[in-house]
Amino acid sequence: MILLCSIHPLCAQEATESSYRDRIWISGQMNWISQLHGEFPAKYSGTNSLVSHGENITSRVFTLFTGFQIAKNTEVFFDMETAGGGGISTALGLAGFTNLDVVRNPTLGSTPYIARYMVRQIIPLSQEMTDATRGPFAISKKVPVRRIEIRAGKFGTADYFDANAIGTDSHLQFMNWTVDNNGGYDYAADTRGYSNGVLIEYWDHDWTLRFGEMLMPTVANGLKLDWNPTRARAENVELERRHKWLKDRNGTIRLLTYFNHANMGDYRQAIAQTTTLSIPDVTGTRKQGRLKYGFGANLEQELAENLRVFGRWGWNEGRYESFAYTEVNQTVLGGGDFNGQPWHRKKDRVGAAIVSNAISGDHRRYLANGGLGFLLGDGGLRYGRENIIEIYYNFHIARGTFMAVDLQKIWNPGYNQDRGPVLVPSIRLHFEIDKQSWLGKTE
């Protein structure tokens, strides 16, 4: 029977079509997040404050992912995206902002843009193969156990660094910036969260070492990248160790360091230049070639078939201005998630996390003297750590369709004990489809 099928023209045609389909990836996703908050206590407000009166707003992100395997070990990807709507207070006033989907510059509008274009080259270092999960950034179903992977083009630094199976995806998991990412990781990115660069990874059985050289924006939170790497750039290094220290339970530890070179301002210098009649302005102290560096740790661990926990720690030097992600100089996070198998809803998931963010002495004195960052600035500051709790329940409605309810409570928003706390409930609707779904089957 097998022999007859292998030589029959119809079987050969089906095999060819299947092989061709396996070389293509096409998928799309749509994500809507509606958030609101009521009035909360605030002794004063400034230019970059979270507004203290009630507000509500909806964000939306639509993405088209495409990829093609042009040779056995070579793949290319091209993604288009549009982001619209907005976040509460136009994404100002919080270091741990409540919606990762929000573009930090609301004036950009919803015009479609190129999110990613890149090539992936696999260099085999062994004959032994292992199964690989196909997705929008990887097409091969099998890859060498020992290999080098090289990616070049435009992509998100956080697509590959500081990933976590429990807290990374704002479309199906948590929504807060400093829960889905390490708040202390000021990773290279433009306003929309993307950069251009090169990523090199060495993969072995239970560990991976990755290095990325990325472009930095020309100004803090800027859309334009500096294309001169001798002047501005970011080095990122991460070691990932996969283990089963608990019997039959997967776990991963990631250790991260990064070095950003850019045209950065100096909080200390800005304060020193302030007169009794003026307020500090860190943008007036910018100097090309300054170095901001930091470290991070990231862990995830299965405890049972349907229970996982995770945590992050991050720190960066706090003299030079926060530049690309958010205004955090130190963070610590813990949390977990649980699927709905016990109540016969295996594709549902509930998660909870608590994160505590902090800033350096120079950074807090700058804000206390009335200075503005690209996200924060209440006109004054009675400093306290910004502490956040987030819980969510993600409902699986139908194939590729999910709805989530989410609640976040923030103490000392913007590190200010004179404001808050504030409660932010959210509703999220997520829809996704890929080419396999169109063909009536899944991966």
Extract the tokens encoding 185: 């990781």
Domain-embedded: residue 443: no
Q: What is the pTM of this model?
A: 0.92
Extract the tokens encoding 20: 């061709």
Domain-embedded: residue 94: yes
Domain-embedded: residue 11: no
Contact assessment for residue 63 and residue 115, using Cβ atoms and an 8 Å cutoff: yes
Domain-embedded: residue 377: yes
By residue range, what is the domain housing residue 185? 24-438
Domain CATH code at residue 72 = 2.40.160.10
Listing DSSP states for 287-311 in one string gives: EEEEEEEEEEEEEEEEEETTEEEEE
Domain-embedded: residue 13: no
Extract the tokens encoding 137: 């950034």
What pLDDT does residue 5 have? Answer: 43
Domain-embedded: residue 132: yes
* Residue 139 φ/ψ, nearest 5 degrees: -110, -35
- The whole-angstrom separation of Cα 157 and Cα 263 is 19
Contact assessment for residue 215 and residue 227, using Cβ atoms and an 8 Å cutoff: yes
77 CB neighbour count, 10 Å cutoff: 23
- The whole-angstrom separation of Cα 383 and Cα 364 is 7
Domain-embedded: residue 290: yes
User: Among 322, 295, 294, which Cα is nearest to 221's?
Assistant: 322
What pLDDT does residue 3 have? Answer: 38
User: What is the total count of domains within the chain?
Assistant: 1
What pLDDT does residue 247 have? Answer: 86
Domain-embedded: residue 415: yes
- The whole-angstrom separation of Cα 389 and Cα 411 is 9
Contact assessment for residue 181 and residue 100, using Cβ atoms and an 8 Å cutoff: yes
- The whole-angstrom separation of Cα 415 and Cα 387 is 9
Give bridge partners of residue 208 from the DSSP assignment.
203, 240
What pLDDT does residue 21 have? Answer: 77
* 443 residues of the chain, pLDDT tens digit each: 333 344 454 444 444 545 767 899 999 999 999 999 999 999 999 999 999 999 999 999 999 999 999 999 999 999 999 999 999 999 999 999 999 999 877 777 789 999 999 999 999 999 999 999 999 999 999 999 999 999 999 999 999 999 999 999 999 999 999 999 999 999 999 999 999 999 999 999 999 999 999 999 999 999 999 999 999 999 999 999 999 999 889 999 999 999 999 999 999 999 998 877 689 999 999 999 999 999 999 999 999 999 999 999 999 999 999 999 999 999 999 999 999 999 999 999 999 999 999 999 999 999 999 999 999 999 999 999 999 999 999 999 999 999 999 999 999 999 999 999 999 999 999 999 976 544 444 44
- The whole-angstrom separation of Cα 245 and Cα 333 is 22
